[in-house]
Amino acid sequence: MTISYSPGWTASIREVVIGATAAEGGTRRISYRIGGESDLPCIGSGRKPLIAFEICDDPALWPDVIRSACTKLVDNPPAWAAYVDTTLQADLIRLNLTSTRRRNFDAYDAVSKTVIAVLQATSLPLIIEGSADADIDSEVFQRCGEAGEKEKLVLGTAEAARYRSVAAAAIAYGHSVIAQSPIDVNLAKQLNILLREAGVPDDRILIDPYTGALGYGFEYTYSTMERIRFAALKGDGDLAMPMICAPSDTLTIKEVRAAVHSHETAVSWEVATAVAAALAGATILVVRHPGSLAPLRTAIDSLWKEEVA
Amino acid sequence: MALKALDIYKLLPKKNCKECGDPTCLTFAMKLAQGKVEPDLCPYLDEEAKNILGASTRPPIQKVTVGMGTLSFTVGEEFVFYRHEKTFYHQPGIMYSVSDTESDDRIREVVSQVRGCRLTRIGIDLVLNGLAVYAESRSPERFAAAITVVTQDNPDLPLVLMASDPAVMEAGLAICGNYLPLIRGVNDQNCEAFCTLAKKYGAPLVVSGNDPEQLAANASRCTGLGITQLMLDLSGTEGEFIRASTLVRQAALARSVPGLGYPVFLDVRSSGFSGLITGITKFASVIVTRPLTRTEMQAALVMRQNIYTDPQKPIQMTPGLYRVGSPGRDDPVFLTVNFSLTYFTLQGYLESTRRSCWLLIVDTEGMSVLTAVAAGKLSESVVKDAIEKSGLASEVNHKTIIIPGYASPLSGRIEEYTGWKVIVGPRDAAEIASFIEEELK
């Protein structure tokens, strides 16, 4: 008697391409084709999740633990990006344009400059988090999109209430979009439909289910991701996009802020969240603490079988 | 797979006779689907329906208890593959490992790490569950001596005994067997001897096998020898574990392979912290790990709490009066609901304002402000009750409470009913800092 696993899936996750090499019209040394899984995480021949490391252009609002872990880099996004690329060896860099969160922000030229400088400092594909304010979205995303033209960036973040600017920049310059909904499978689906109607092709959307921090609602994120993956594998094309999940959100919680051994705490909590997120179906795991990279890489290599080339 | 309420309803007599204690057959069916009542309560079920319902409400995964007394824990009795389908019931026991070749002092130190670990979150104590002693010495005397070190002061600490030589295992069981430790070490050669030991002490037994077929066959062999308290050993790399545990869980829930309907044992001494997190999320019931750092231990216990929270019943804060900072008699009182996320969010924003204040948590059965107002769970009488029970009036010199913005429709009624002045606060906790700055100078 052979006992076999028979999940009864009928569909697979859609593939999304991130980054463009010279052959693909960009300047990245590598590009990634993510998604394509036709089973649960770690089962079958699905691809390993990628690790994205977060940097920003204005660290004032970032957790102390990150500013102290990256002291000499936090005021220099290109140097920070180069460090993430060559020393930490992340798969992707997520550049957060936190400067745009300041009141009365209007330094749009600086946005373009930062994006271009980071693109020059690293040859990894980039995710760019633009503004979070509808009043300046249009200009900020336009600048990001333009500065990274042909590089197949991932632009974030589209939400149900403000997605048109980021969608427009993605369509105009050939980038993908992160679609974030508040930990709810139906809202995730709805936003994907809105983006499609706005003209964003399905294979250029990533779902961000919104990451509740460990101990502060992570269980909702975990189950929402499992439900999205389940729905996608059962054939719901509106949810069949790869997911991006940000365990780095865990770094803002009290346990980490108040910790005596704050770096050790940050790494433990971030890695725990990232491993669980990967098992729930995340395709891109976003971390912020340099110490999280190595243990997370080891865990993923052990969880996933060697990829079949 | 458990039957849905409507499927069950089709099997019922549909007489609405109320003899089961429920008003209609449909409500009875709904309770059956949730496993809250037994099918026997219906006097009119035919045999076939009884068989179908009995099989579908009996747990597909055997219940197994490790240890005796207040520290003992029960695992198994799970019904679903995804926690969102219903809930995961019995959280895994996490056991720190020690070798019997380690010094007595080191063994005592690990025991005290296990016993001293207590993390309290939202009024719930999160604990490590016990100790796993492995017979690295291969000596019956040393194994027994190491276990004696543990049991001298802590006879009630649940244990896993790990040895593959029946003589060594027997020496260990002679010390602690009556406390029902989990026995691990069965292989093809020693199966009969181990079953004899498990039977003698009534202790649960971990069975292993190189593949699911062999594992199921070995489990059936043990049940054939009269052992019913079994666990399945799926230790391996993280990836091997996930693939095996997915298959075993699926087979168990489908009741397709009787030998796989048992809780899962996982040894993560080589895969470490990420192996532990993997085990917690993906169906392990007893996990043996090397002693963790304090921060890893905390993250793992919180992950376990998150994953084993009932999705239909949000984590609730215990209602009552809480302090943020060190509030005095003139400091403001904020009222909110006992949905844990609401509490955590508000508490976080209040702490970041560095303004000491009181936080009055009222019992809305874990509902958020908006849902509680809509469902009538947050009302003037609930507020009055909370003010009285908490003894708020004796803690402060004023009679003013600040209620959440979404509760503003209740402000007048609360004032009339309680006699306290009500200030309506912001809807979003993120605006609490500017609210304090502008309204409470």
% of residues, chain B, pLDDT over 90: 69
Q: Which residues contact B32 (CB under 8 A, 6 or more apart)?
A: B3, B5, B8, B39, B53, B57
Confidence category of residue B49, pLDDT binned at 50, 70, 90: confident
Picking from B247, B296, B303, the nearest residue to A5 by CB comes out as B247
Task: Identify the pLDDT of residue A217.
Answer: 87
Say if CB B316 and CB B340 are below 8 A apart: yes
Using a CB-CB cut-off of 8 Å, the residues of chain A touching B298 are 255, 265, 268-269
CB pairs under 8 A between A and B: 131
Nearest chain B residue to A212, by CA: B341
> Residue B383: which of B348, B347, B407 has the closest Cα?
B407
Contacts of B15 (CB under 8 A, 6+ apart): B25, B44
Q: Is B27 exposed, middle or buried (0-12, 13-18, 19+ CB in 10 A)?
A: middle
With bands split at pLDDT 50, 70 and 90, how would you rate the model's confidence at B55?
A: low
Residue B281: pLDDT over 90: yes
* B83-128 pLDDT, tens digit each: 999 999 999 999 999 999 999 999 999 999 999 888 888 778 899 9
Cross-chain Cβ contact B296/A268 below 8 Å? yes
Contact A258, A64 (CB under 8 A): no
pLDDT band at B35 (very low <50, low <70, confident <90, very high): low
Assigned superfamily of A16-303: Dihydropteroate synthase-like (3.20.20.20)
- What is chain A written as a DSSP string? ------------PPPEEE--BGGGTS-BS--EEE----SSTTSTTPPPPEEEEEEES-GGGS-HHHHHHTTTTTT-HHHHHHHIIIII--SEEEEE-GGGGSTT---HHHHHHHHHHHHHH--S-EEEE--S-HHHHHHHHHHHHHHTTTS--EEEEEBTTB-HHHHHHHHHHT-EEEEE-SS-HHHHHHHHHHHHHTT--GGGEEEE---PBTTBBHHHHHHHHHHHHHHHHTT-GGG-S-EEE-GGGGGGSHHHHT-SSHHHHHHHHHHHHHHHHHHHTEEEEEE--GGGHHHHHHHHHHHSPPPP-
Q: How far is B369 from chain A (nearest CA, A)?
A: 16
Using the beta-carbon criterion (under 8 Å), do A299 and B274 form an inter-chain contact? yes
Which chain A residues are Cβ-neighbours of B309 within 8 angstroms?
219
pLDDT at residue number B1: 43
- B298-332: per-residue pLDDT in tens? 999 999 999 999 988 777 888 999 999 999 999 99
Which residue is listed with tokens 């545990």? Answer: B245
Four-residue CA torsion sign, B150, B154, B155, B157:
negative
Closest-CA residue of chain A to B258: A3
Compute the distance between CA of residue B1 and CA of residue B196 in angstroms, rounded to an integer. Answer: 34
Q: Confidence band (pLDDT; 50, 70, 90) for B145?
A: very high
List own/partner pairs for B211-216 with CB under 8 A and 24 or more apart. Answer: B212/A3, B212/B244, B212/B247, B212/B248, B212/B251, B212/B257, B212/B260, B213/A1, B213/A2, B213/A3, B215/B248, B215/B259, B215/B260, B216/A3, B216/B257, B216/B258, B216/B259, B216/B260
Could you give the CA distance from residue B433 to residue B425 in angstroms, rounded to a whole number?
11
CB-CB neighbors (< 8 A) of A44 in chain B: none
Check: CB of residue B9 under 8 Å from CB of residue B63: no
> Please, are residues A151 and A125 in contact by the beta-carbon 8 Å criterion?
yes
Confidence class of residue B59 from pLDDT cuts 50, 70 and 90?
Answer: confident
Kindly determine whether residue A215 and residue B306, on different chains, have CB atoms separated by under 8 Å. yes
Give the residue among B172, B177, B169 at the shortest CA–CA distance from B147: B172
Determine, for residues B277 and A276 on separate chains, whether the beta-carbon distance falls below 8 Å.
Answer: yes
CB contact under 8 A, A43 and B243: yes
Structural domains present in chain B: 5-57 (1.10.15.40), 64-307 (3.20.20.20), 320-439 (3.40.50.11600)
Average pLDDT score over chain A: 93
- Closest-CA distance of chain B to residue A36, Å: 19
Record: contact B260-A269, CB cut-off 8 A? no
The position carrying tokens 């633009």 is A130
Query: Which two tokens mark A67?
Result: 């500013």
Q: What is the pLDDT of residue A309?
A: 45
Confidence band, pLDDT 50/70/90 cuts, at residue B53 = confident
Asked whether A214 and A267 are in contact (CB, 8 A), the reply is: no
Decide if B250 and A5 are in contact by the 8 Å CB cutoff: yes
- Is pLDDT of A267 > 70? yes
Nearest by CB to B295, from A42, A268, A303: name it. Answer: A268
* H or E element at residue B106: helix B104-116
Question: For A42, which residue in chain B has the nearest alpha carbon?
Answer: B239
Give pLDDT, residue A1: 55
Percentage of chain A modeled with pLDDT above 70: 98
Q: Identify the sign of the CA torsion B210, B211, B212, B218.
A: negative
Strands A282-287, A50-56: pairing kind = parallel
Contact call for residues B32 and B7 (beta carbons, < 8 A) = no
Q: Is B209 on the interface with A (CB under 8 A)?
A: no
Q: Indicate left, alpha or beta for A106 from its phi (over 0: left) and psi (-120 to 50: alpha).
A: alpha
What pLDDT, on the 0 to 100 scale, is given for residue B117?
A: 84
The domain locations on chain A are 16-303
Over residues A41-63, the mean pLDDT reads 92
d(CA A40, CA A37): 8
Nearest CA in chain A to B312: A220
Asked whether residue B54 carries a pLDDT value surpassing 90, the answer given is: no
Sign of CA dihedral B153, B124, B246, A17: negative
Name the minimum distance, in Å, from the CA of A77 to any CA of chain B.
28
pLDDT of residue B20 exceeding 90: no
How far does B145 lie from chain A, in Å, by closest CA?
Answer: 35
* Lowest-pLDDT range of B197-201, B272-276, B426-430: B426-430
pLDDT band of residue A306 (cuts 50, 70, 90) is low
B123: contact with A, CB 8 A cutoff: no
B/e letters for B397-434, b = 16+ CB within 10 Å, e = fewer, are eeeebbbbbbbeebbeebeeebebebebbbeebeebbe
Q: Are A278 and A49 in contact (CB under 8 A)?
A: yes
User: Using a CB-CB distance cutoff of 8 angstroms, which residues of chain A are in contact with residue B213?
Assistant: 1-3
Best residue in A275, A285, A304 to probe B by mutation, most B CBs within 10 Å?
A275
Distance from CA of B212 to the nearest CA of A (A): 7
Decide if B305 touches A, using CB distance below 8 A: yes
Residue B138, SS3?
coil
Interface of B with A in 63-122 (CB under 8 A): 82-84, 121
State the nearest Cα–Cα gap between B195 and chain A, in angstroms: 25
Cβ-Cβ contacts under 8 Å for B51 (sequence gap 6 or more): none
Put simply, the answer to whether A3 touches B212 (Cβ < 8 Å) is yes
